[in-house]
A and B are shown apart, each in its own frame.
Chain A
Amino acid sequence: AQSVTQLGSHVSVSEGALVLLRCNYSSSVPPYLFWYVQYPNQGLQLLLKYTSAATLVKGINGFEAEFKKSETSFHLTKPSAHMSDAAEYFCAVSGGRSGGSNYKLTFGKGTLLTVNP
């Protein structure tokens, strides 16, 4: 079974500041990890995904995330926030290559990012 904990349901940063959204996961098998973004009244869009290759994953819009197995973390960062980054961000885990029900994505509760001018 997998689970995801996103620390902080709401993060507020100033424009130009570092964005750090935290995600910790629990998985009984080597996981695949994902970050999705949801803009108001829209569906989820994939930002980036970790599939057991490089531990530092670069995504769209300048975001990146680092897989740290020892910390069971997959935090999302962006060096400089832009107003257009304001959205809700979801971390998700699946069972990777374990087979079985590895098609299931388990999502965290989401972190709402606001960017102040």
Chain B
Amino acid sequence: DAGVIQSPRHEVTEMGQEVTLRCKPISGHNSLFWYRQTMMRGLELLIYFNNNVPIDDSGMPEDRFSAKMPNASFSTLKIQPSEPRDSAVYFCASSFGASGRNLADTQYFGPGTRLTVL
């Protein structure tokens, strides 16, 4: 099993540019999570998908952030336009649960994308 795959691993961009982060969850998993990790705020849940449908996007900072999951094997997190305060490590995680809402299900994290916005 390849685990959760994220790309790119590192992204350096300039303020105002569009950034797209990609995630391939573990095959068979039906829940997908995007997290952001910063020194100041720690790990924060940005958005949660269940069966490709966004269930909770209350953690998305503002309209500059958007996430999609067009199919069970792919998700994107887009920032447009990017700002220096978006610099962080972004993690994707996936899990499988019969109900999709059982948090005893282990979340498997990808290696993260380190984003630097200059």
Contacts and interface: CB of A to CB of B under 8 A. Distances in A.
Interface stretch (B62-70, B71-79, B108-116): B108-116
B103 A90 contact: no
Q: Which of the four size classes fits the interface of chain A?
A: 20 to 34
B104 A32 contact: yes
B104 A45 contact: no
A7 interface: no
Contacts of A99: 101
Interface string A27-56: 000001000100001111110010100000
Given A104-B45, A107-B43, A110-B42, A49 B104 contact: yes
A92 B107 CA distance: 12
B86 to A, nearest CB: 19
B103 A105 contact: yes
Nearest to B92: A43
Interface string B1-28: 0001000000000000000000000000
A13 to B, nearest CB: 23
B110 A43 contact: yes
5 contacts: A32-B103, A32-B104, A41-B112, A42-B112, A43-B91
